Amino acid sequence: MKPIIPLLLTAATVLAASPVTHTDESKVPAYTLPDPLVSDNGTPVKSPAEWPKRRAEILAHFEKHIYGITPPAAIALKPVARETQNIPDFLAGKATLREIELTFPDTPKAPTLNLLLITPNKTSSPPPVFLGLNFRGNHTIHPDPRITLSTRWMENDPKAATINHRATDASRGTATSRWPLDLILSRGYAIATLYCGDIEPDHPDGIKQSIRAAFPTPDDSGWGAIAAWSWGLSKAMDHLSSSPAVNGKQVALLGHSRLGKTALWAGATDERFAFVISNNSGCGGAALSRRAFGETVARINHSFPHWFARSFRQYNDNESALPVDQHQLLALIAPRPLHVASATQDLWADPKGERLALDHAKPAYQLLGKPSALLTTYHIREGAHDITAEDWSHYLDSADRHFSRSPSP
């Protein structure tokens, strides 16, 4: 029989190691947010002409202290695209589905990215497109057996039918509620997605299969998994921006939860994205870190040590020392349209902190002479942490406005 005391001790050690969190508004500490419109040297930023310099300062803080620095050589890589599948009668003839392999032949350690692109067949010009990473493989977004089943590492998840870290046939279509294709296509939009695990499997050892292995950065400010996933979104954008199948000037970037954090970082670092959407992105996404409500910096660094730069750990239980807060990440999207969404039961992601961050990003839009009321949208849906058709219908309405499309009848 195994001794009981060491077991209890082990449990206690694990519990002690997991940083304490709360969802009690009365425990939110008093805090002062850094001003997006005051330079590091204290000079107020008063005109649009002064913004690029201030923007660069803010971006550098996020790179150095939070997401990590993406090596310029990785940014410079250009993918070679090869269409591996073209199904013109997808969704009962309503759409064309393409599978496009993006490779980096000069960088042998770079992973292959498998982009899925679905475009409406009834369209007079190349359509605007929503781009977003998925959690469990392209084959989860729709049950059509012609979509290639991912062979990459997957988190074991009974709901998604992934066993021994591999997808099974039963995992086809397990994420359809998150990708309401009929709705999106009927509104005239295309959809592009790839599995985040193509870029880097989501576990602490995933770096070995990641683009990060091709560009190692040993210092504390080296890029984390979120920056690697963002890199993958930019590589998908490299392809979409020159593809005749879609309007490369109207690429809306969206992500849920950890992939919402990723969409925000990709939108901040790559200004080709015309519209950026954060769905329930929470800590390290749209939520203010200084509120320390729900998931905290200490907790996220503990649970997901591979997501951020190691330098982010110095702000565990020390958020007020951060040179920036997440409202400034949102300000980096300005003057491009931005939509932030929360869910009422998703206290872990701090809905109030997400809304406040958006409010505190608005001065950047105003400085640039842009109507922040039109360009920044917030909605909160009843219910749990998820992305649903209801969320999508809000995003489609926003996209119609920003891309000057008449709303559907």
Nearer to ligand GTR, 18 or 43 (CB): 18
CB of 388 vs ligand GTR, minimal distance in Å: 14
Residues sharing a CB contact under 8 Å with residue 205, sequence separation 6 or more, in sequence order:
none
CB of 136 vs ligand GTR, minimal distance in Å: 12
Tokens coding 171: 């995992």
Number of residues that bind ligand GTR (CB under 6 A): 7
Bridge partners (DSSP) of residue 119 are 96
Nearer to ligand GTR, 136 or 235 (CB): 136
> Residues 167, 168, 172, 174: is their CA dihedral positive or negative?
negative
Tokens coding 185: 């296509």
State how far the alpha carbon of 291 is from the alpha carbons of 37, 286, 325, 354, 405, in Å: 21, 12, 10, 10, 38
Cβ proximity of 228 and 309 under 8 Å: no
Name the residue type at position 158. P
Q: Is 256 a catalytic residue?
A: no
The yes or no reply on residue 226 touching ligand GTR (CB under 6 A) is: no
Q: Is 385 a catalytic residue?
A: yes
Bridge partners (DSSP) of residue 273 are none
Question: Among the candidate windows 5-13, 112-120, 295-303, 312-320, which touches ligand GTR by CB under 6 A?
Answer: 295-303
Catalytic position from the list 171, 243, 257, 278: 257
Q: Which residue is nearest to ligand GTR (CB)?
A: 257
Nearer to ligand GTR, 88 or 383 (CB): 383
Nearer to ligand GTR, 115 or 287 (CB): 287
Per CB under 6 A, the list member of 282, 337, 351, 353 interacting with ligand GTR is 282
Nearer to ligand GTR, 99 or 198 (CB): 198
Asked, as a colleague might, if the bond just before 127 is cis with ω within 30 of 0, I would say: no
- Separation CA 36–CA 358 (nearest Å): 12
CB of 258 vs ligand GTR, minimal distance in Å: 3
The yes or no reply on residue 257 touching ligand GTR (CB under 6 A) is: yes
The yes or no reply on residue 306 touching ligand GTR (CB under 6 A) is: no
The yes or no reply on residue 295 touching ligand GTR (CB under 6 A) is: yes
| Strand, helix or coil for residue 247 | coil
CB of 264 vs ligand GTR, minimal distance in Å: 12
Q: What b-and-e string marks burial along 168-186, b requiring 16 or more CB atoms within 10 Å of the CB?
A: eeebbbbbeebbbbeebbb
CB-count exposure of residue 281 (10 Å: 0-12, 13-18, 19+):
buried
Nearer to ligand GTR, 131 or 226 (CB): 226
CB of 133 vs ligand GTR, minimal distance in Å: 11
- Separation CA 91–CA 61 (nearest Å): 45
Per CB under 6 A, the list member of 254, 283, 343, 356 interacting with ligand GTR is 283
Half-sphere exposure of 379 toward its Cβ, with a 13 Å CA cutoff? 17
- Separation CA 233–CA 199 (nearest Å): 9
The yes or no reply on residue 300 touching ligand GTR (CB under 6 A) is: yes
* Residue 308 DSSP code: S
Catalytic position from the list 61, 203, 385, 394: 385
Per CB under 6 A, the list member of 235, 239, 258, 370 interacting with ligand GTR is 258
Nearer to ligand GTR, 301 or 372 (CB): 301
Catalytic residue numbers, as ranges: 257, 385
Per CB under 6 A, residues contacting ligand GTR are 257-258, 282-283, 295, 300, 303
